[in-house]
Amino acid sequence: MTVAQEAPQQELPENYEQVRQQVLSLSAAERTRLLHEMIDTLVPATQETVVPSMKDTLSYALGRLSAPGVTPPSDDEVKELIEQARAERYG
């Protein structure tokens, strides 16, 4: 099981408590809507790929295009797939 690491403690902005109080003054429906909107803003951040160090790109690159149970294409199949991809792009 993967356990999420606790985020490092950061100093809260000066107006944090003010914002919190304003949010608490909203109705339950409004707070729920706001919660969903805030979660949506986090999705791109959690999907960001870690940029590899220039000195260890191998560990980042190794098997990036593979998956268990998926047979990788041969050299000839690669050529065919690239042709197909170009055909999709250029018709």
Q: Which of 3, 4, 49, 91 binds other proteins (CB under 8 A)?
A: 49
Q: List Cα–Cα distances, 72 to 34, 50, 63, in angstroms.
A: 44, 24, 10
β strands within the chain, DSSP E: none
Q: Which is nearer to other proteins, 3 or 54 (CB)?
A: 54
Both tokens of 50, joined, read 């870690």
Report which residue type is found at 51: V
Choosing from 24, 27, 36, 64, the residue that interacts with other proteins (CB under 8 A) is 64
Residues lying near other proteins in the complex (CB under 8 A): 47, 49, 51-52, 54-58, 60-67, 70, 72-73, 75, 78, 81-82, 84-86, 88-89
